Homo-oligomer: A and B are copies of this chain.
């Protein structure tokens, strides 16, 4: 099984990387963009076929390692 994990900054947390991308888009002449927020993405290959076990594993992984839950949110999908 595979998990697709997305970690994003919580609302209100400053995102200098996103701001830099907005500025670069302006410079490149790409218009129509209001704002950009950057996050992180992980693809995790899991052993086993039990979806509930996979969800517990990925949730533990996010809490302990992948996300800083003080300033970041995480969400994930388990895909087969």
Contact = CB atoms under 8 A, between A and B. Distances in A.
- Size category of the binding interface on chain A: 35 or more
Interface string A11-44: 0000000100100110010111111111111111
Interface string A50-68: 0001100100110011100
Contacts of A8: 41, 43
Contacts of A65: 21, 24-25, 28, 30
B42 A21 contact: yes
Contacts of A47: 32-34
Interface of A: 6-8, 18, 21, 24-25, 28, 30-48, 53-54, 57, 60-61, 64-66
